[in-house]
Amino acid sequence: MTDVKKVVLAYSGGLDTSVILKWLQDEYHCEVVTFTADLGQGEEVEPARAKAKAMGVKEIYIDDLREEFVRDFVYPMFRANTVYEGEYLLGTSIARPLIAKRLIEIANQTGADAISHGATGKGNDQVRFELGAYALKPGVKVIAPWREWDLLSREKLMDYAETHGIPIERHGKKKSPYSMDANLLHISYEGGPLEDTWTEHEEDMWKWTVCPQKAPDAPTWIELTYRKGDIVAIDGVEMSPATVLTELNRIGGLNGIGRLDIVENRYVGMKSRGCYETPGGSIMLKAHRAIESITLDREVAHLKDELMPKYASLIYNGFWWSPERAMLQQMIDASQANVNGVVRLKLYRGNVIVTGRKSDDSLFDSNIATFEEDGGSYNQADAGGFIKLNALRLRIAAIKGRKLF
């Protein structure tokens, strides 16, 4: 393990990555560069600097990536109305390509020949981090401690930390039973009681959202302004991408919006139960489909819907930096040229209800769609020929004796 001279570690300052930092120093006898990202997880990141310094780290990177995260990753994903397996809004998945990108950038800046992360050998994150790293720097060495060491339980990690003088923050005798991940798009919860698929999640697990039954018994109305498929203003006030998502998280959380409890199919082959809070993302998904409903051509909208599951699986499985994802993104972005306008929403006890949509680029024509006299805008008799042409193949099959039942 002496071929590595310098490694960039994705470092949170918590137990796992602090143990990894010390383990890299001891096992690889290499210099460690730490990288801590502020992705809007709601925790202070500066304490990681002091912890890294105390462990002898000389090069420490702490980056506020919130705007880049939402602008370059969350927004492009939501232009596609992306949902994995019908429900999951990919809050963890979409953060990983940005972390991989920044790890490689720092490796290039510091002359490091390796990167390291704290993802376990059972999860998807190891795949996402490493696929991204190899795509951006083919010759980089990746060190995945969970695939090398024998510290395969929290108790062993705690023992290692105590033996090697790594400070451990204890919060009484009770520890959180969940493995959690957070960024500006979501919080995820796994493990502990959730490993029994029949056990109901505990109410005090949720951090961002109030219980829908306890949410205000009065709706909240908001208006979202779209420009080329992205939200640029809330209630007429222009905001940056990260500010938009922060505010939607706040409003959605107050109204009990965005909770999810699912069993998903991991790329590594197993099923896993997870609970997710995505209040802002849940609002964004509903609103974006609403503005597209009046601004997109029918076949463009349907083609997007057909391709979305493939796009979602590429992100979930870690292929953000793949040519096929980039190809799909170009098509998705091109479809958004006229996705401009305003959507009005009513938020009430866990529900996101569309109550209005308007756009200068709307394809909705009330003169044609009306049930009243249309002044000759549409000749209803034309529908007869349209129906007969589409029925022709069915009529031929029936004439030839084809039986349907």
Beta-bridge mates of residue 116: 9, 143
What amino acid is encoded at 271 in this protein?
Answer: K
261-264: long-range contacts, CB 8 A cutoff, minimum separation 24: 261/201, 262/85, 262/87, 262/88, 263/197, 264/84, 264/85, 264/88
Structure tokens at 159: 């023992």
CB-based contacts of 59: which residues, under 8 Å, 6+ apart? Answer: 31, 33, 34, 110
CB-based contacts of 384: which residues, under 8 Å, 6+ apart? Answer: none
Distances (CA, A) of 101 to 107, 129, 358, 382: 10, 9, 38, 56
Q: Active site residue: 16, 38, 181, 230, which one?
A: 16
- 179 belongs to the catalytic site: yes
Question: In the 3-class helix/strand/coil scheme, how is 116-140 assigned residue by residue?
Answer: ECCCCCCCCHHHHHHHHHHHHCCCC
3-class DSSP assignment, residue 316: helix
Q: Active site residue: 113, 179, 266, 349, which one?
A: 179
Q: Active site residue: 96, 102, 259, 357, which one?
A: 96
Distances (CA, A) of 103 to 8, 137, 180, 337: 7, 10, 21, 33
Q: Active site residue: 125, 181, 335, 359, which one?
A: 125
- 125 belongs to the catalytic site: yes
Structure tokens at 130: 């490493």
Contact 144, 126 (CB under 8 A): yes
Give the total residue count for the chain.
405
CA pair distance 214, 151, nearest whole angstrom: 42
DSSP 84: B
Angle (CA) 286-287-292 rounded to 5° is 105
What residues act catalytically? 16, 96, 125, 179
